[in-house]
Chain A
Amino acid sequence: NAGVTQTPKFQVLKTGQSMTLQCAQDMNHEYMSWYRQDPGMGLRLIHYSVGAGITDQGEVPNGYNVSRSTTEDFPLRLLSAAPSQTSVYFCASRSGGVNTEAFFGQGTRLTVV
């Protein structure tokens, strides 16, 4: 099993550009989430999904869009990149049962110049 796979690992964008961060999991997990990690801020939830076709906002959703058309994939779209979106992004998946842990991808380091 590959677990949670994120692509790309690194990306540099110019202000105003758009891009999609890909996330795929092969564990048939219902829950998927996107977090960003910034120094001193820990992991902050951007968007999450409790199943195909269902998404909701997390703590810091502005400037990001998600969709969940399949159980396996949960892409994160940056609509118009800003320097404040420079961060490390992590995708996570979790089964829908009670008291389960989340599995994380390796992360995408994004720099917006």
Chain B
Amino acid sequence: DQQVKQNSPSLSVQEGRISILNCDYTNSMFDYFLWYKKYPAEGPTFLISISSIKDKNEDGRFTVFLNKSAKHLSLHIVPSQPGDSAVYFCAASALVGGNKLVFGAGTILRVKS
């Protein structure tokens, strides 16, 4: 039973355009959502997060949107750069239930120059 789903295994985008990565969740107790970026042979690194009391959080080229009624969040990268090519993981946690981080399967983003 996957509580966090990333239904697109891969995404290809032209440099300079917008990249939109999507994530759905099933557990309504999740109250904190995070995006991680992972390069090959490295550990995941934190990118951006959003609390359930917000619907948008922005950090430079990265914006995360949260739609609680749809149990959906998305990561927007504008403009996309070749260095953004990586695997992106969506994660969620619930304070109730041990605050464990639950991850999606990941989306491979390729930014073409």
Residues of A that sit less than 8 Å from B by CB: 4, 31, 33, 35, 40-45, 48, 50, 56, 58, 90, 92, 94, 98-99, 101-107
Count of A-B contacts judged by CB separation below 8 Å: 57
**A40 contacts across to B, CB distance below 8 A:** 9, 105
A33 with B43, Cβ < 8 A, contacts A42-B106, A98-B95 known:
no
Stretch at the interface among B13-21, B44-52, B59-67, B74-82: B44-52
Among the listed B49, B51, B89, which residue makes an inter-chain contact with A42, where contact means beta carbons less than 8 Å apart?
B89
**Cα–Cα, bound, A106→B91 (Å):** 18
Residues of B that sit less than 8 Å from A by CB: 4, 6, 9, 32, 34, 36, 41-46, 49, 51, 89, 91, 95, 98-106
A45 with B46, Cβ < 8 A, contacts A40-B9, A99-B32 known:
no
Does the CB pair B98–A50 fall under 8 Å? yes
**Cα–Cα, bound, A31→B49 (Å):** 18
If over half of A's interface residues share one DSSP class (helix, strand or loop), that class is named, otherwise mixed; here it is strand
**Cα–Cα, bound, A38→B49 (Å):** 24
Does the CB pair A103–B42 fall under 8 Å? no
Among the listed B9, B46, B95, B105, which residue makes an inter-chain contact with A102, where contact means beta carbons less than 8 Å apart?
B46
**A35 contacts across to B, CB distance below 8 A:** 103
User: In the complex, what residue of chain B is closest to A59 when comparing beta carbons?
Assistant: B102
Does the CB pair A41–B105 fall under 8 Å? yes
**B49 contacts across to A, CB distance below 8 A:** 99, 101
**Cα–Cα, bound, A99→B106 (Å):** 21
Does the CB pair B34–A45 fall under 8 Å? no
**Cα–Cα, bound, A45→B92 (Å):** 13
The 5 closest A-B pairs by CB, nearest first: A104-B43, A42-B105, A43-B103, A101-B46, A42-B103
A111 to chain B minimum Cβ distance, whole angstroms, is: 15
Does the CB pair B89–A106 fall under 8 Å? no
Does the CB pair B34–A101 fall under 8 Å? yes
**Cα–Cα, bound, A105→B44 (Å):** 8
Does the CB pair A42–B104 fall under 8 Å? yes
A33 with B101, Cβ < 8 A, contacts A42-B106, A101-B49 known:
yes
